[in-house]
Amino acid sequence: MSLLLSIILFAAALVASFFGLGGGVLYTPIQLWFKVPFNEASSTSLLLILITSFSATIVFRHKHRVDWKLALLLEIPTTAGAFIGGILSEYFSSNFLTGILILLLLLSAFLMIRPPEKHYSLCTIREVRKNSLWFWKREWNGNFYYLNLRCVFPIMFIVGTIISIVGISGGVIKIPIMVLLLGIPMPIAIGSSAFMVGLTALAGLLGHASIGHVNWHTALLLAVPVFIGAQIGSRASVHIKTRKVKHLYGWFLIIVAIITFLRAWRFI
């Protein structure tokens, strides 16, 4: 069973890192299929997300696709929203929130596969001569983007709240938000997301470790194929054209939405 689980998680890490994701949406259900106890599966998943993030970030950093300042800035409202989401989680039906998540995934998928002819980024502005408290001009690896932080912060706060309540690392939502609403180029969105999900996973892992949920022996054994898979996936990603990656990501979101639906209503 351990060998088969390692092979499947290797493939999951390859797919996740290709799209700049942590892989939590895949790692936890895969372990549950192998009858791993839920607390152990979720804590192991967090460690594997951290390993995937670290492995992929090494590659994306080398290709100058991780905008460190952007990633850290977006994590501030996202983390705050995640904290509030944890508090509010008991007041909402899990099926209701899962339904919202599925709709968001499908909407994001449609916009990735069939983007509008004219691109309008909700939280960008045409030009900023110099940075101010709320308007930020950013240049990274030859790309320019101008962000209206009064729009960015509330959106990322809401994203953090939703992903916390639903219980995912959030890369599947963060990347469409970064590309479609913030105007971040797809390669930088993927690279930065790969780093961001690691920060989220680290915080969660420390919490689980403090109460003894982590089976370190099993988790570290599984970390090896996950690290290798993430290296291969991220290296493949940097060699594929942006438009093709967008289309592939859109179809991947549809698959995730279907899996999420089947899990929520206990078909799998």
What are the structural domain ranges in the chain? 2-264
Structure tokens of 212?
A: 């003894």
Alpha carbon distance 223, 9 (integer Å): 9
Percent of the chain exceeding pLDDT 90 equals 18
Angle at 224 between CA 221 and CA 228, to 5 degrees: 160
Distance of CA 221 to the CA centre of its chain: 23
Alpha carbon distance 71, 203 (integer Å): 16
Taking residues 241-247, what's their average pLDDT? 78
Q: What is the pLDDT of residue 9?
A: 93
Taking residues 118-133, what's their average pLDDT? 63
**Residue whose entry in the numeric block shows the structure tokens 């800035």:** 73
Q: Which of 161, 176, 202, 164 is nearest to 57 (CA)?
A: 202
The predicted-structure confidence for 127-166, as pLDDT tens digits, reads as follows 655 667 778 878 787 877 888 888 889 988 888 887 776 6
Q: Which of 137, 140, 119 is nearest to 127 (CA)?
A: 137
The predicted-structure confidence for 15-33, as pLDDT tens digits, reads as follows 889 888 888 777 877 887 7
Mean pLDDT of the chain: 81
Q: What is the pLDDT of residue 122?
A: 65
Q: Which of 62-71, 96-105, 194-203 has the highest mean pLDDT?
A: 62-71
DSSP per residue, 160-222: HHHHHHHT---HHHHHHIIIIIS---HHHHHHHHHHHHHHHHHHHHHHHHHTT---HHHHHHH
Q: What is the dihedral of CA 189, 155, 52, 248, to 10 degrees?
A: -50
Residue scoring higher pLDDT (265 or 227): 227
Taking residues 213-227, what's their average pLDDT? 88
Alpha carbon distance 141, 127 (integer Å): 18
Angle at 121 between CA 115 and CA 126, to 5 degrees: 130
Taking residues 187-201, what's their average pLDDT? 87
pTM of the model: 0.78
DSSP tag of 140 = E
Q: What is the pLDDT of residue 185?
A: 86
Q: Over 60: is that where the pLDDT of 119 sits? A: no
Q: What is the pLDDT of residue 1?
A: 53
Percent of the chain exceeding pLDDT 70 equals 88
Taking residues 207-229, what's their average pLDDT? 86
Q: Over 90: is that where the pLDDT of 49 sits? A: no
Q: What is the pLDDT of residue 176?
A: 84
Q: What is the pLDDT of residue 160?
A: 81
Q: Over 80: is that where the pLDDT of 3 sits? A: yes
**Residue whose entry in the numeric block shows the structure tokens 């960015």:** 152
Sequence-ordered list of residues with C-beta below 8 angstroms from that of 253, at least 6 positions apart, any chain? 105, 106, 108, 109, 112, 172, 176
